[in-house]
Structure formats: structure tokens, C-alpha cells
């Protein structure tokens, strides 16, 4: 009878907690939509391709140079390589927030900042004792665009005129993934749905002529498509001291790889050219439409990507690794035809050390903190005047534990993109990421005496 009541209680508790998680998911989705409306100025390079490609690395390994392929953790989610889910030992919930700063340097310096919620993910570990499989759900941004730039011309045929280019919008992905582990080998996959809207506008005005109509081109791209990525990891202990009972002396070797093939995504394109005049009371007033098309079915060819890396160490003491990722952006095509892109690649190194891994020791709190740092170098997919933009930076991170309840991960990324060519905009940026990680709060099993 006790077992029956306990089973009913746990079932009801699970349903209640699942509803709570569903509500959090809806709140997170609403916040993303709120951000897309109130996003601040971003990089002018976000006009290329599908926009600025957001990192899929969460708060913990972000401080390790965004090391992803070989990274595993018992308490932190690594979405980029889904095979890592099988290393989790606790049900985990993570909500991330970011604050980014950017300065663009050429003839003068332009500065911009933005921030908000960056990701939301849940990982379930149905059988923590066996630790053989896990399931993850989440929502995170994929790309975003937000730019405005102005060019003034003086043409002998049409006179002085001004061209204004602007773009706003974001793409998001919601996913469900899982992983299974057997004898040190794990395999995992994420299956997601990519959705969102990108808006572009080009405006031509004639400031010296009051009678000339201005012209604008408005383009909207709606994306709805399924995406996926798969990953593998292999872990093996390569050193063990029989005379030392402390498990922190063990050294493990981990190999990881992930990727996805090229995919053709569904999209709908709307485009119109119109002449307009400006009224101080009513704003822009369309006079006539020269051409228009709405919801034209199109395809976006998303290129394949791969990542691989190795890591040595022990999560309870120290970890060090190297990571390489590549994306075949040369094969990217879209109905926008807004630029030719390069293949991008990046090599990263990362480290983490925990002086003393003991959740019950309250006296030496700083020794239980996880300290992380790393660096990276690579080539961006952006092509300007036939030149690929290089990208380099360094990262630092720190993880504050809260007994067995969870942790706060803070990471900083400081870098530059653009190279030394003075004819190209150079971006200097910093990115701060905060990850609030909760473990084993809502899925604790109750027992009756």
C-alpha cells in the first residue's frame, strides 16, 4: 500500500513539475519575442548571410574558449555536442543571460551594447544510478540582424541622394535531444525546429529636392524548417594511482566530435518596391507600388558543419582541451543573394581547475569555485572586398557552486574581428554570459516511512 501511495505521489509530483517547466518554457519564448522587438544596434556585418551567427555554447564551457566537442560535465549542459548529455548525473535546468558590447573602428569609432536572455535548457536524467542516458529540451537564438548605415551620393544624372540600409530580426531554434552511453562511448542527437523573421529595407531619398518622391525596397524572409545535429564522445581513464584513494588523481582522455550535413530549409520571401513621401503628421505615406510579391516559397541551403577535439583531466580537479570547428559557408545560398561567404573555421583551447571539489566544505568556499580560461583564433564567414575576416580572442570564466542545489557560471569573451586592413571595419567586442544552473530541485523522489 505504501508503494502504491508513493507511486501516485511521485506521478503527481512529476506532472506538476512538468507543468512548471512548460510554463518556464513559454515565459522564455515570450522573452525572446520581447527582445526581438527591442534589440539594440548590432554589427553591420550582420547584413551578410542569415545574420550574426549566435554561439550555441552555454555558460560553463564558454569560459574555456568555447570548447565544445570534447567537453562533458555531470552538472552543466553542453548543447553543441549532444553526446555529452549522457555524462550528466542530475536533472539540470539552465537559464542564460548575456550582455554584449561592440566598438566598430574605421575613420571613427561607433559603440553599441545589447543584452537579454540568451538560452533556456532542461536535461532529464531518468536513472542517475546507471547514468546511461539523458534527454534535453531547450530554446536558443540561431542568428540575429540589427544594423543601419547611411551612404550619401552626388550623381550627375539624378543629383544628390541618400541611401539608407537597415535590417532587424532574429531566428530561433527549439530542440529536443538525447544521448546514450555504454562502456565509455556515448552518442547523441538534437532535433530542432528553426523559425523566425528577418526584415530588410533599402531607402533612397533626395534631400535637396522637395518634389521628388523617395523610393524604398522592403524585403521580409520568414523561415520555418527542421534542423538537426549529431555527436559522439569516447572517454577512457588513462591514469590511476592505486595508492591514492582520492578520485581527483585520476586522469581521463576524452575524444569528441559533432556535426550536421547540409540542409535545405523552407522559407517564404515577400518583396516590394514603392515610392513614398514623408509627412510630419502621418510619417511615411506610400504613393504607389512599382512591384510586389508575397510569401513566395523559397529554399535556403544551409551548409554542413563539423567539430572535433580532445580533452584531458578530471572534472573534479582540472581539465584541458583543444577544439576545432569548420562550417562550409561557401555553399550557402538564399533568395536574398546578399553576399558571397567564405568557409569559416576556428581553433580553441580551454582550461578549467577546481582547487577543492567538496560540496560539504563551507570553510574554504573559494577553493570549490571552478576557474576557467581559454583562447581562440579563426576565420569568419564574412567576405569583404574579397578578403576573409580573421577573428581572435580570449575568454575567462568562473563557476560559483551552491552546495548541491546548483551554480552560477559567469564568463567573459574579449576579442576582435576584421584584421589589420584599414579599408575594412574592425570590430572590438566583449561578451558577458551569466548561466543560472539548477540541479535536482524539482525531481527529487519523496519517500514515506
The 10s digit of each residue's pLDDT in 104-121 is 876 667 787 888 888 999
- Range of 162's domain? 2-323+429-439
Q: What is the pLDDT of residue 9?
A: 39
pLDDT at 291 over 70: yes
pLDDT at 82 over 70: yes
Q: What is the pLDDT of residue 10?
A: 46
pLDDT at 181 over 60: yes
pLDDT at 273 over 50: yes
Q: What is the pLDDT of residue 284?
A: 64
Q: What is the pLDDT of residue 445?
A: 52
Q: What is the pLDDT of residue 107?
A: 63
Taking CA atoms, 387 is separated from 164, 219, 302, 383, in Å, by 24, 27, 22, 5
What's the pLDDT tens digit per position in 331-342? 898 888 767 889
Domain-embedded: residue 206: yes
Domain-embedded: residue 342: no
Q: What is the pLDDT of residue 41?
A: 43
Instruction: Flag the least confident range among 114-128, 155-169, 251-265, 336-350.
Output: 155-169
Domain-embedded: residue 107: yes
The number of residues making up the chain comes to 449
pTM here? 0.85
Q: Between residues 388 and 257, which one has the greater pLDDT?
A: 257
Calculate the average pLDDT of the chain.
83
Q: How confident is the model at residue 212 (pLDDT cuts 50, 70, 90)?
A: low
What's the pLDDT tens digit per position in 409-442? 999 999 998 866 666 788 899 999 999 999 875 5
Q: Between residues 386 and 305, which one has the greater pLDDT?
A: 305
What's the pLDDT tens digit per position in 23-76? 555 555 555 554 443 344 467 788 888 888 899 999 999 999 999 999 999 999
**Structural domains in the chain (count):** 1
Q: What is the pLDDT of residue 151?
A: 79
Q: What is the pLDDT of residue 49?
A: 87
- What percent of the chain shows pLDDT beyond 90? 46
Mean pLDDT of the 155-177 span: 85
Q: How confident is the model at residue 449 (pLDDT cuts 50, 70, 90)?
A: very low
Mean pLDDT of the 358-365 span: 66
Q: What is the pLDDT of residue 378?
A: 96
Mean pLDDT of the 235-257 span: 89
pLDDT at 374 over 70: yes
Q: How confident is the model at residue 362 (pLDDT cuts 50, 70, 90)?
A: low
Q: What is the pLDDT of residue 287?
A: 72
Domain-embedded: residue 98: yes
**CA–CA separation, 310 vs 300, rounded Å?**
33
pLDDT at 316 over 50: yes
Domain-embedded: residue 381: no
Q: What is the pLDDT of residue 180?
A: 96
Q: What is the pLDDT of residue 36?
A: 44
Domain-embedded: residue 92: yes
Domain-embedded: residue 64: yes
pLDDT at 85 over 80: yes
Domain-embedded: residue 270: yes
- What CATH number should be reported for the domain holding residue 189? 2.40.160
Amino acid at each position: 500500500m505504501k508503494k502504491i501511495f508513493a507511486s501516485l505521489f511521485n506521478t503527481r509530483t512529476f506532472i506538476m513539475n512538468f507543468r512548471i517547466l512548460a510554463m518556464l518554457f513559454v515565459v522564455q519564448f515570450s522573452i525572446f519575442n520581447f527582445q526581438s522587438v527591442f534589440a539594440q544596434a548590432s554589427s553591420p556585418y550582420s547584413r551578410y548571410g542569415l545574420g550574426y551567427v549566435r554561439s550555441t555554447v552555454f555558460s560553463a564551457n564558454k569560459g574555456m574558449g568555447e570548447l565544445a566537442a570534447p567537453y562533458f560535465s555531470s552538472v552543466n549542459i553542453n548543447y553543441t555536442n549532444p553526446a555529452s548529455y549522457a555524462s550528466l548525473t542530475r536533472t539540470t535546468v539552465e537559464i542564460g543571460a548575456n550582455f554584449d558590447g561592440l566598438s566598430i573602428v574605421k575613420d571613427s569609432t561607433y559603440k553599441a551594447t545589447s543584452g537579454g536572455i540568451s538560452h533556456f535548457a532542461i536535461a532529464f536524467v531518468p536513472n542517475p544510478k546507471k547514468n546511461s542516458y539523458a534527454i534535453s529540451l531547450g530554446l536558443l537564438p540561431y542568428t540575429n540582424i540589427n544594423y543601419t548605415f547611411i551612404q550619401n551620393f552626388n550623381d550627375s544624372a539624378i543629383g544628390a541622394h541618400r541611401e539608407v540600409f537597415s535590417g532587424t530580426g532574429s531566428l530561433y531554434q527549439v530542440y529536443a535531444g538525447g544521448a546514450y552511453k555504454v562502456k565509455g562511448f556515448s552518442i547523441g542527437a538534437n532535433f530542432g525546429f528553426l523559425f523566425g523573421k528577418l526584415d530588410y529595407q533599402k531607402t533612397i531619398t533626395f534631400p535637396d529636392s522637395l518634389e521628388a518622391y523617395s523610393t524604398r525596397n522592403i524585403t521580409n524572409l520568414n523561415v520555418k524548417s527542421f534542423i538537426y545535429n549529431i555527436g559522439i564522445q569516447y572517454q577512457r581513464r588513462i591514469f590511476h594511482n592505486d595508492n591514492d584513494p582520492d578520485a581527483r588523481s585520476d586522469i581521463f582522455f576524452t575524444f569528441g566530435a559533432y556535426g550536421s550535413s547540409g540542409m535545405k530549409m523552407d522559407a517564404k520571401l515577400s518583396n516590394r518596391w514603392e515610392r513614398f513621401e514623408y509627412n510630419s503628421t502621418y510619417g511615411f505615406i506610400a504613393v504607389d507600388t512599382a512591384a510586389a510579391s508575397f510569401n513566395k516559397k523559397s529554399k535556403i541551403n544551409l551548409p554542413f558543419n563539423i567539430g572535433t577535439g580532445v580533452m584531458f583531466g578530471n572534472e573534479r580537479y582540472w581539465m584541458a582541451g583543444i577544439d576545432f570547428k569548420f562550417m562550409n559557408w561557401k555553399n550557402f545560398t538564399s533568395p536574398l543573394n546578399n553576399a558571397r561567404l567564405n568557409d569559416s573555421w576556428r581553433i580553441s583551447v580551454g582550461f578549467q581547475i577546481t582547487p577543492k571539489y567538496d560540496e560539504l566544505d563551507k570553510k574554504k568556499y573559494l577553493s570549490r569555485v571552478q576557474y576557467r580560461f581559454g583562447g581562440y583564433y579563426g576565420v569568419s564567414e564574412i567576405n569583404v572586398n574579397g578578403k576573409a575576416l580573421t577573428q581572435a580572442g580570449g575568454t575567462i570564466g568562473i563557476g560559483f557552486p551552491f552546495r548541491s542545489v546548483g551554480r552560477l557560471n559567469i564568463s567573459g569573451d574579449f576579442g576582435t574581428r576584421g584584421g589589420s586592413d584599414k579599408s575594412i571595419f574592425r570590430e572590438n567586442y566583449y561578451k558577458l554570459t551569466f548561466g543560472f544552473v539548477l540541479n535536482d530541485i524539482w525531481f527529487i523522489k519523496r519517500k514515506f516511512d
